[in-house]
Structure 1
Amino acid sequence: MAYSVPLLVSCLLVIISVSLAQTSFRPRGLVLPVRKDASTQQYVTAIDQRTPLVRVNLVVHLGGQYLWVDCDNNYSSSTYRPARCHSAQCSLAGATGCGDCFNGPRPGCNNNTCGLTPDNPFIRTATGGELAEDAVSVRSTDGSNPGHAVTVPRFLFVCAPTLLVQGLAGSATGLAGLGRARVGMPSLFSAAFSFHRKFAICLSGSTSSDGVILFGDRPYNFIRVPAPLDAGASLAYTPLFVNPVSTAGAYSQGEASTEYFIKIRSIRVNNSPVAVNAMLLDIDAEGNGGTKISTVNQYTLLETSIYRAVVDAFSRATAGIRRAPAVAPFQVCFESGSVGSTRVGPGVPNIDLVLQGENAVWTWTGSNSMVYVNDDVLCLAVVDGGVSPRTAVVIGGHQIEDNLLQFDLAASRLGFSNTLLGRQTTCANFNFTSIA
């Protein structure tokens, strides 16, 4: 049976709006804490899932297609429901396969169910998984504090085998997919609670203080003296672009990417343009080139010719600072004692990404362009991405730390704050200690 998109969305709303019928409280937004894992440098969040609820730690995958969870390892829930073949849930998720599992029934292994192909980009592995529904509970927010816990009783996700957890932060048993797919977590939460299809992410570089993911529209308030800062009040905006070819670990022909791509028009170092091949900054018909934002890569990857041009320009602009031997994977390093300190990080020239859009300049100050590899050495935190990579520029986690990024899926645009350090706050300053 074929389902039209309006019918699919209608079915989804009926399925997941049951939670709203159970209470008169309708949240204006949702909040998840995010912490940087010290050993893997991955960003880890947590939700409560199943009946009874169990805390599930998840690695954040900004461009991930959906939530997937290990169901092989003691997954138990009275509210688990596999998605049956040819159901609205399967069509919504784009799941065309239908199969049986003869070692069940159990979560992740049932007959007459449809499946998807969850992937783990950290180990570049994908495998089969069962599409299913279960209860998910998260905290509501007014934009300033966490509030009441709210539940989506039938939240779509994918059951994955334990082997897919390899390479994730030690406590994590799945991925939180925040991509622009119809079954991505932002779309499912906005449909469940009828708020805008927007979410913001603000990552802390600290391994001891939480950053935050906020589903819904602003305010996005952070503690600051003398008054809180709504970091979403003065964003610059640039369009989000759809890569016509999927960048997932496994995909079907004709499937578009669910990752977030933007357009870099030019790059400047110390206000001087850097000569790069502009063709690399566009996405071609085969899905190659362009720029995406990623929480999978810790540091920004630049196609080799772009990398060399940026490194050369930065080296010229810092000619007066004492150099240190290179520390892999970084090429340009300095003696930390020769670099001044400012409110926005080490005192080095700014790197500007001039994006498409009015006044859309994303500036990397020293806090985002540099990384301390030890007490005595700091390095330019960009990495050679190789010749002819799939994506020419991959903006990594280090470069987005302490920047608030708002992803507006309905309007297909990215809002960005530039570093919050210059506004006397950080991404670790969302008030998790008070209850709204």
Structure 2
Amino acid sequence: MASPLTNLIHFFLICTIHFITSSTAKSSTRPKGLILSVYKDPSTLQYITEIKQRTPLVPVKLVVDLGAEFLWVNCEKDFTTSSYKPALCNSAPCKLSKSIACTTECYSPAKPGCTNNTCDLFPENTITLLATSGSLGSDALTVQSGAGSVTVPNFLFVCGSTIILDKLASGVTGMLGLGRTKISMPSQLFSTFGMKRKFGVCLSSTPSKGSIFFGEFDSSTAPLTHTPLLTNPVTTAGVFSKGEASSEYFNGKAVRVNPALLSINNNTGHGGTKISTVDKYTVLEASIYKAVVHAFMNELNVPRVRSVAPFGACFDSKKVGTAYTGPAVPTIDLVLQSKDVYWRIYGANSMVQVSKDVSCLGFVDGGVDSRTSIVIGGHQIEENLLEIDFKASTLGFSPASVP
């Protein structure tokens, strides 16, 4: 029987093996795979990565947002570089980004984030849901490639502002978008280096480092189950143009609840299931939440204690047993493509220890009119390997520890 420590070691071996395997052929200037280290901030529970950007290179800390459209960085403070290039209105980068706005006159001396005749996008803090306008531009960006590092000389990003840094982890100056757009980090790395159009995510439940892999990596140590990714025809971004599709990763087949809630409405974009690294915990539409809690309670058969926000179902930890997959509670299966394709959630990912004596089911009631019916949050993603394949439009997933 494996211990929690064994499971944690297994998780790190998965990430390390992928890194070593994909870095064996990095002698050329066109790597087959790239990697970013990710750690969990203990104060905010946000997932943080660090890149190097600008000339000379400067380390930049970013919150990882799996579904965001692009990388944005605060350009208002301590942004110094000699290699920044604004994206001029109607230029190829502007068309690639699908910008719908243009700054014709900037009322201050020219600098990154404020130059005349530059196209604009709308960087958003997806934790506070605050967005502002910001200029599109490019600068040098360096990413680790195993044996060394590689540089993208003209990596497109958006200049954000200080006001939208609110509630981000200490030292963070922006957010890294990994969504399905042509200027997200995956898309730009794929295009620049001609890599396989897929990336993998390993998030750790501890402050220790997880990883994000781009391009070619070996998942043989953790065989993956695959399910189709759907495109929501209506974006969930805070600011958008009419007809814009979502950049996030959705799966719209049935979990065992009302199927109508899990299909995506083509007119409103409501419904479906998506994966998020900025939501701390899985969020369920109210009727789904009630059904899950009811079934969970019946199976667990342990009396509830006073709720601890944001959770509704909490228990006396001393009355909940333990297993090598975490607390000894009923498993929860999110049935995806069919009854044979499901994401199994064990106690380590379903339960949250909120105090010495109280643990809660780590699912949150999203209300009766939630935009997305199921949002699989960070706590449930941890200790799983996820693979997003742009070409095949599939999600692959494999838990780091299974019975």
Question: Which residue of structure 2 lines up, in the alignment, with residue 328 of structure 1?
Answer: 309
The SS at the match of 1:422 is: coil
2:116 to 111, 119, 133: 111
Does structure 1 residue 89 correspond to structure 2 residue 87?
A: no
> 1:104 offset after TM fit, Å?
2.2
Kindly indicate whether residue 48 of structure 2 is the aligned counterpart of residue 59 of structure 1.
no
Deviation, structure 1 residue 257: 0.4
1:266 is displaced (CA, Å) by: 2.5
Give RMSD over aligned pairs: 1.4
Instruction: For 1:86 and 1:194, locate their aligned partners in 2 and report how far apart those are by CA, in whole Å.
Output: 26
Q: Which residue of 2 aligns with 1:47?
A: 51
Counterpart among 71, 74, 80 of residue 76 in structure 1: 80
Partner of 2:129: 124
Asked if the contact 1:238–1:357 (Cα under 8 Å) also holds between the matched residues in 2, the reply is no
User: 1:203·1:212 contact (CA, 8 Å) conserved in 2?
Assistant: yes
Question: Residue deviations 1:163-221, cap 9 Å, x none?
Answer: 111121111100000000111110001111110110111110102x111111113215x
1:277 and 2:276 matched: no
Map of 2:198 onto structure 1: 198
Give the stretch that moved more between structures: 99-108 or 390-399: 99-108
How does 1:147-158 map onto structure 2 within 5 Å?
A: 147-158=147-158
Partner of 1:174: 174
**How far apart in 2 are the matches of 1:97 and 1:385?**
33
1:93–1:382 Cα change, 3 Å: same
Partner of 1:6: none
> For residues 395 and 309 of structure 1, what CA distance do their matches in structure 2 show?
16
| Structure 1 residue 339, shift from structure 2 partner | 1.9
Cα distance in 2 between the residues matched to 1:357 and 1:304: 23
Q: Please report the TM-score for the alignment, with normalisation by the length of structure 2.
A: 0.90
Q: How does 1:388-399 map to 2 (within 5 A)?
A: 388-399=369-380
Residue of structure 2 equivalent to 1:250 = 239
Task: Tell me, yes or no, if the aligned pair for 2:100 and 2:241 is still in contact at 8 Å.
Answer: no
Q: CA deviation at 1:388?
A: 1.2
> What are the equivalent positions in structure 2 for 1:37-436 lying under 5 Å apart?
37-99=41-103, 100-140=105-145, 146-207=146-207, 209-220=208-219, 230-231=221-222, 234-267=223-256, 276-285=257-266, 286-319=268-301, 321-356=302-337, 359-417=340-398, 419-422=399-402
TM-score scaled by structure 1?
0.84
CA distance in 2, matches of 1:56, 1:42: 15
3-state SS of 1:368 partner = helix
For 2:164 and 2:314, how far apart are their aligned partners in 1?
Answer: 36
Question: 4+ residue runs of structure 1 moved beyond 3 angstroms?
Answer: none
Q: Structure 1: give runs of 5+ residues left out of the alignment.
A: 1-22, 141-145, 221-228, 268-275, 424-436
Take 2:191 and 2:33, find their aligned partners in 1: how far apart are those partners? 12
Structure 2 CA distance, aligned partners of 1:147 and 1:44?
Answer: 23
C-alpha separation in 2, matches of 1:409 and 1:40: 30
Instruction: Give the whole-Å Cα distance in 2 for the aligned partners of 1:88 and 1:193.
Output: 19
Match of 1:20 in 2: none
Q: How far off is 1:358 after superposition?
A: 7.6
| 1:230 match: secondary structure | coil
**1:350-388: CA deviations, max 9, x gaps?**
000111158311000001111111121111110110011
Shift of 1:28: 1.3
State the AA in 1 paired with 2:83.
T
8 Å Cα contact 1:120-1:249 kept in structure 2: no
Identity of aligned residues (%): 52
Secondary structure at the aligned position of 1:406 is classed as strand
Distance 1:358 1:330, change over 3 A: closer
Paired letter, 2:402? G
**2:48–2:61 Cα contact (<8 Å) kept:** yes
Gaps of 5+ in 2: 1-26
Contact 2:315/2:359, CA 8 A, preserved across alignment: yes
Distance between the aligned counterparts of 2:147 and 2:52, measured in 1? Answer: 15
Distance 1:27 1:230 in 2: 22
May I ask how many residue pairs the two structures share in their alignment? 375
